[in-house]
Structure 1
């Protein structure tokens, strides 16, 4: 007799970063009702968050923007560089497009308003951990418009995909039927439009934006 196998969700290790203990307590109470969510730590500032990341296995961070000396967007950028395997969802009271845009550029995979119901926060975590981006319904249009990829031409986006796989200018030129100099020019234009300087940062951006 065939027995139907049930898939057990893997444990998702979460770090809560918010400078208000009551907010962290409320989040923890809501998220701990999900059996495969594991709150491994809490932090009220950037220094504590980075310290915990160095010690603990963390899959995802729920990040507030207002953290005092170092805001959550700047901290998200640091995590993208120092701990690229950790996903970040901004959990904020701010609805302004500039905050959504800055969060995306910093490497956040999602942006959820603090007033959202617990079910939406849970959905956001599950979506991001499955490789998708997630934004509160009222912010979806802002997130789309704010994406830095919107500033690139189709050719530049195509080259960015190739850059993300580590291909050389010569390889990309051969694949696309372009001269190496043309590819070099496109690469410079991509970095200029995205305000990126180094090659490593360019590859990291491509991976964070899931352009593959």
Structure 2
């Protein structure tokens, strides 16, 4: 007896492009609309238009610029995270400074890609975020590697692995599961990391991780 097997199709990506420059949106659309798994569900140049589209269409992914005609992409990302937590945000920006990366990730972005990055990086970022991960442009990775502080060199390989997990926003429970450790062991490593780096609070630890362990 032959069984009928049904292959489930991958969910369609409903993408919203947010940039205050129409030419930039046109360029992104041209790059992305040829990909079968992506539907360009809308475009917006302002925060108000973006929120209106999200309220009326089944958006599940956003490419967001930091500089908008009204408001800015970082605050808009935080609002999307609060009002539409199922929508993942990829920040697409010309700004390379660590402070912009940190603020974007803290606001809820799942990836940070530089506008002058090759098109393949945008595709990689989309694939990574849809799969549940985080992504940073190659240029940012190199910048981070070149700016590692001396204090960071005092960390053991295990502590560096945990710091990388912290940078991606994972909880102690998730870190323990991923690294095959107990939650108590992860907590001990966190304390040791903060002691070696002379860091007191959890927020400061997260900021350090975002600044120094972009991966």
Query: TM over 0.5: same fold?
Result: yes
Find the counterpart in structure 1 of residue 31 from structure 2: 30
Which sections of structure 2, spanning at least 5 residues, go unmatched? 149-161, 174-182, 185-200, 208-215
Find the counterpart in structure 2 of residue 82 from structure 1: 83
Find the counterpart in structure 2 of residue 123 from structure 1: 124
Find the counterpart in structure 1 of residue 212 from structure 2: none
CA distance in 2: counterparts of 1:143 and 1:103, whole angstroms:
16
- CA distance change for structure 1 residues 95 and 191 in 2, over 3 Å: closer, same or farther? closer
Give runs of ≥4 in structure 1 deviating > 3 Å.
Answer: 1-9, 141-145, 189-195
Contact 1:90–1:103, Cα closer than 8 Å, also in 2: yes
1:68 Cα shift?
2.7
Aligned to 2:74, the other structure's residue is in SS state helix
Contact 1:13–1:60, Cα closer than 8 Å, also in 2: yes
CA distance in 2: counterparts of 1:122 and 1:139, whole angstroms:
17
Find the counterpart in structure 1 of residue 97 from structure 2: 96
Matches within 5 A, 1:25-64: 25-64=26-65
CA distance in 2: counterparts of 1:78 and 1:143, whole angstroms:
28
Contact 1:135–1:143, Cα closer than 8 Å, also in 2: no
Aligned pairs, how many?
168
Contact 1:80–1:86, Cα closer than 8 Å, also in 2: yes
Aligned to 2:95, the other structure's residue is in SS state coil
Residues 60-80 of structure 1 deviation map (CA, whole Å, 9 limit, x = unaligned): 100000003310011001111
Which sections of structure 1, spanning at least 5 residues, go unmatched? 163-174, 177-188, 196-212
1:142 Cα shift?
6.0
1:39 Cα shift?
0.4
CA distance in 2: counterparts of 1:47 and 1:104, whole angstroms:
22
The alignment's TM-score, normalised by the length of structure 1, stands at: 0.67
Matches within 5 A, 1:156-195: 160-161=171-172, 190=202
Contact 2:45–2:69, Cα closer than 8 Å, also in 1: no
The alignment's TM-score, normalised by the length of structure 2, stands at: 0.66
- CA distance change for structure 1 residues 70 and 7 in 2, over 3 Å: closer, same or farther? same
- CA distance change for structure 1 residues 51 and 8 in 2, over 3 Å: closer, same or farther? same
